[in-house]
A = this chain, B = another copy of it.
């Protein structure tokens, strides 16, 4: 480890791949497109999970668990959903292996253990869940159902990248059932808000909320709301989606409820999810050429203490002081690691914790013991200063807030500087090529134009922002009338 990373300006994509592996976040596995999430990466994911889970429960959701497999006949029940995912799903066809008669050290699929009906490994769980809800819902008294599931899902993507696009990924998927269209729409928006709030205030990533165009919607949804973030290379990343499913799944699975008035009505549905893809967003929003930069709220270790010493006696004295400092910081609610390993030199450790994005690094040497100081280095600004030991706790507490804010504001400035209002297609292409980022432009509202722009520029409509005002104008490609700007970008 601690090899020098390729710089972002040299090759952003290579920088990303190297960083993920060298910072011990994840690596590729022996299974095509599937990753191993290493302990350090998983510790960050656990922090995200805990915070999201809390917010789901605060908004009245409960966790549950549904089967990994979806029988083919259920999978195909909601036509558009099936069509959307059929092209990339892993299929279980057999339930046994047997010894290869030609080579006793090998196993082969046992042809006698063929399943009567194939099982799809869930790419998303609407089908299996709505088939279950059918048994749970009879009357309005059974509604709403507001359930979340933490699970693994599989989508057989051909081109994969660690965290951003993997054949298997971890996610949460909320699935709710409601009496009315309004209630389901409220839920759809509420969960998009929960995502936006979490991603901005916890991950320090500014997002734009909006809805997807028809061609970018989730397969089977009537509306898809989303949060869109901007990465440092000017490409957008969809960080979370919340779908209004209308009555599509209720109709496909025949889920009706008796209303207060005694009428049988189809149930209204939503689903919403975020995944380990958020790890990719985190990395690409804040990190630099030295490695990962973590917002304090997500850092498994917010502070690391490195002793600078010669010989065991010095280490002993420094360790004594370091333990006191660590204890004081922990009592202030800050997570601290004291790295007294004698197998690695301080310089190596400095580089390692920079690579791993630890927000604050403290170094204590013999001079510091004499002077009552500590050297403090900030990961976000790469600045250093000496702090009096008795002022350290307050300083670090303040820094946790300051660093979190600084990262958000830096990302926000970058994002805002990279929203370009564009009126004609030549400028569109020029801005996209030279500057990147979001392009705010008029669009004639047709799927054809959207597709044509994608073919010509690789830019897609990321969303129709919620907070845009109506404004008359002309489509950036066709010149046809339009009454609202949408956001285009190249995207992950």
Q: Are B92 and A31 in contact (CB under 8 A)?
A: no
Residues of B within 8 A of A419 (CB): none
Q: How many residues of A contact B (CB 8 A)?
A: 64
A86 at the interface (CB under 8 A from B): yes
Q: Which of A58-94 contact B (CB under 8 A)?
A: 62-72, 74-76, 79, 82, 86-94
- Chain A 96-120 interface mask (CB, 8 Å, partner B; 1/0): 1111000001110100000000111
Residues of B within 8 A of A30 (CB): 67, 71, 74, 128, 131-132
- Please measure, in the bound complex, the distance between the C-alpha atom of A339 and the C-alpha atom of B90, giving whole angstroms: 44
- Given the interface contacts A89-B96, A91-B94, A91-B95, does A42 sit within 8 Å of B68 by beta carbon? no
Least CB separation from A79: chain B residue: B105
Residues of B within 8 A of A107 (CB): 72, 75-76, 82, 86
Q: Are A67 and B109 in contact (CB under 8 A)?
A: no
Tell me which of B64, B89, B105 contacts A95 (CB under 8 A).
B89
- Please measure, in the bound complex, the distance between the C-alpha atom of A42 and the C-alpha atom of B106, giving whole angstroms: 39
Residues of B within 8 A of A308 (CB): none
- Please measure, in the bound complex, the distance between the C-alpha atom of A328 and the C-alpha atom of B287, giving whole angstroms: 46
Q: Are A95 and B156 in contact (CB under 8 A)?
A: yes
- Please measure, in the bound complex, the distance between the C-alpha atom of A76 and the C-alpha atom of B100, giving whole angstroms: 11
- Please measure, in the bound complex, the distance between the C-alpha atom of A390 and the C-alpha atom of B284, giving whole angstroms: 57
Q: Which of A119-156 contact B (CB under 8 A)?
A: 119-121, 128, 131-132, 135, 141, 147, 151-152, 154, 156
Residues of B within 8 A of A70 (CB): 31
Query: Which of A32-40, A396-404, A429-437 lies at the interface with chain B?
Result: A32-40
Residues of B within 8 A of A62 (CB): 39, 42-43
Q: Are B76 and A92 in contact (CB under 8 A)?
A: no
A468 at the interface (CB under 8 A from B): no
Q: Are B39 and A147 in contact (CB under 8 A)?
A: yes
A343 at the interface (CB under 8 A from B): yes
A170 at the interface (CB under 8 A from B): yes
- Please measure, in the bound complex, the distance between the C-alpha atom of A46 and the C-alpha atom of B62, giving whole angstroms: 11
- Please measure, in the bound complex, the distance between the C-alpha atom of A42 and the C-alpha atom of B65, giving whole angstroms: 7
A9 at the interface (CB under 8 A from B): no
Least CB separation from A95: chain B residue: B156
Q: Are A168 and B69 in contact (CB under 8 A)?
A: yes
- Given the interface contacts A46-B63, A86-B96, A94-B91, does A118 sit within 8 Å of B109 by beta carbon? yes
A383 at the interface (CB under 8 A from B): no
Residues of B within 8 A of A156 (CB): 95-96
A29 at the interface (CB under 8 A from B): yes
Q: How far is the CB of A77 from chain B (nearest CB, A)?
A: 10
Q: Are B105 and A69 in contact (CB under 8 A)?
A: no
- Given the interface contacts A95-B89, A109-B91, does A152 sit within 8 Å of B35 by beta carbon? no
Q: How far is the CB of A58 from chain B (nearest CB, A)?
A: 15
Residues of B within 8 A of A63 (CB): 39, 42-43, 46
Q: Are B37 and A141 in contact (CB under 8 A)?
A: no
> Which A positions have Cβ atoms within 8 angstroms of B?
27, 29-31, 34-39, 42-43, 46, 62-72, 74-76, 79, 82, 86-99, 105-107, 109, 118-121, 128, 131-132, 135, 141, 147, 151-152, 154, 156, 168, 170, 343
- Nearest 7 pairs between A and B by C-beta? A39-B62, A34-B67, A37-B65, A86-B97, A95-B156, A91-B94, A31-B67
Query: Contacts A31-B119, A96-B156 given; 14 further ones with Cβ under 8 A?
Result: A27-B132, A30-B71, A34-B68, A36-B132, A38-B64, A39-B63, A42-B63, A76-B107, A79-B105, A88-B96, A90-B92, A91-B97, A92-B93, A93-B109
